[in-house]
Chains A and B, each alone.
Chain A
Amino acid sequence: SQQGEEDPQALSIQEGENATMNCSYKTSINNLQWYRQNSGRGLVHLILIRSNEREKHSGRLRVTLDTSKKSSSLLITASRAADTASYFCATNRGGSEKLVFGKGTKLTVNP
């Protein structure tokens, strides 16, 4: 079963616009990670946010975490065509060896 649920399932924007993806989860977590996947290839780690953090930045990426609402958001600013990919959130419960992924958001950035 998948704990994380990304929203929206698909998002299409123009280059230069911002893209916001949301993730909701069900149980308490140790950390939450975001990954990107290009066309059914391997996943690439983007950013990790711990349960005691509320916001984190990495380049054009901004991640927020609201543990009271069990939700996270990923903001990509000034999007580029190369950002076209599927984005997944993945949660980890304390002491668990596994990451639980959502179904992902498919982002298309049109040039």
Chain B
Amino acid sequence: ETGVTQSPTHLIKTRGQQVTLRCSSQSGHNTVSWYQQALGQGPQFIFQYYREEENGRGNFPPRFSGLQFPNYSSELNVNALELDDSALYLCASSLGAGANVLTFGAGSRLTVL
């Protein structure tokens, strides 16, 4: 059984650029949730994908968008990067829609300069 894998692990971008983060869900899981964790804070819910459809969204602007693929892997895209987007982006997979027990990946640390 493979866990949740995220790529890249670290990346540096400049303001205004775009970034794509990738996530492979745990085997057998069909739901992916994305969270943003700023330094010293708890994770904040960005959105969830279930069966390739967005299934709920947190308080994030439209420049945060996502996709889920038929194999349940997922992408998080952020356009027009701002300095405040610097954070650890966590992907979590689970079985079924809703807020079930989450299996997290190690995260992608994004620095925006």
Residues of A participating in the B interface, judged by any CB pair closer than 8 Å? 1-2, 4, 30-31, 33, 35, 40-45, 48, 88, 90, 92, 95-104
Q: Give the residues in chain A near B104, CB-CB below 8 Å.
A: 35, 42-44
State whether the Cβ of B4 lies closer than 8 Å to any Cβ in chain A.
Answer: yes
The A-B contact count (CB < 8 A) is 68
A97 and B48 within 8 A (CB): yes
Number of B interface residues, CB 8 Å? 29
Which chain B residue has the least Cβ–Cβ distance from A31? B99
Known interface pairs A43-B90, A98-B48; A48-B42 also in contact (CB < 8 Å): no
Please list 11 pairs of residues, one from A and one from B, whose beta carbons are closer than 8 Å in the complex, sorted by A's number.
A31-B99, A33-B101, A35-B104, A41-B107, A88-B43, A92-B98, A92-B99, A96-B56, A96-B99, A98-B99, A99-B99
